[in-house]
Structure 1
């Protein structure tokens, strides 16, 4: 098979592949920056918890309207925000740590969502909700994902400075400005919205993968925040494109294929990454080399 048939022909010959590629590109633009900030703020597992938290809301939307884009989106947004706020309130009102509170909320949410979908839908519907259908993206879903991404990039432009300061020195930010709390809430809202957008393509169990794996991979290659965001976004898009090609040629599910490609990239970075990778730690460095 020549390179054209292997890499380009699937996208030029089939509209559903072009839609899927456009959807992956839009998801990568929003997920890359958010994943980088989640990692730097030590909130990686928070992203995973939020991805599971949207399931009961999406399931309730499915219960009333079936696989309706807007009903499931609205339900997922409400559920994600309720869990984010509820976990924070419990952590502050009791002696429980916020990570434990989030873990409890997301486990309950996951079980409740699966139960609701199972009550009305078939196994096919359940797989659709859990793992998404990136090859089945239609115009409405593509517009929704693109709108969420646009809102994400615009909002990040406004809250970029307090987000960076909070990553570096949250105590200093709190002493000189009151924007920390507002930016934190806005950031969590963006995470929820992007997970809801990713849910329609990759499902609740995999949507966070496109957010966290590329960011974790990029961290082994760059230290600068701007470079980290750009590289994470690029890796997310490349993993999506290659995952779609793997799915097309091998007949594997598209969502898991995308995340597994991103996982392979992460594994390669762990071994060969120049910043903290295993190979860089084993190989001797020259005197005074950083």
Structure 2
């Protein structure tokens, strides 16, 4: 077990070094990276699409990388905003790493970009441990997911610079207890700002964009660590602790699957006319493309 821990720590240390270098490089270019984390179905893509559209409307140069295990559906949706969008296909990898972000940006990111939004894989476990060179980390949660989510995923919520609730128009029907949710967030991340949003009504969209733009000139004052803080439970458990408290920097993940292409420096895919660029595709902004299945590579 100690050897596994050492290997994972080494992987994370290497990633942190790459992330620091990427952050410094992009900061010199005037680009701020915003890393968005949430579970699947939280409404992250819809909210991001609204934020991108608002930025385009205001003349703010933004771009987005969006990651999924498969399909380019989210890139198509985000491209409707008018912002440059690129898809990252992970083929089963449950998170993004700094090396993947860097390689997807090479020869693609428009020179005048002010904010690069990175929509991470829908997952609140693995992505929480990987710094992507961001200056702002946003963790999102739909009001339909339950007030105890921050306690179940303390590494994700504990490493956030900003916590965002989504689908707030459903708070009443879902019986969402906002006071309990805020108390739970404070338990794992005292001092973090919490913003309420609703993509359907537009509530909170400007606030999220303003927080992202503010980090261009100064990082968030609130900068929690990526690793979970030690804590004493004071009670016993009937189930093993294998995964319960090692979500952040202590487990080695063995995926046990094969890939049609590599994760980090994927071989170029054939051009898919009308599809958002991914992996090795050339640099070009994306109009809203038709929704057609991608040919097999």
- Report the TM-score range of the alignment, normalised by the length of the smaller protein: under 0.3
Higher helix share: 1
- After TM superposition, the score normalised by the length of structure 1 is 0.26
| Larger radius of gyration between Structure 1 and Structure 2 | 1
Higher strand share: 2
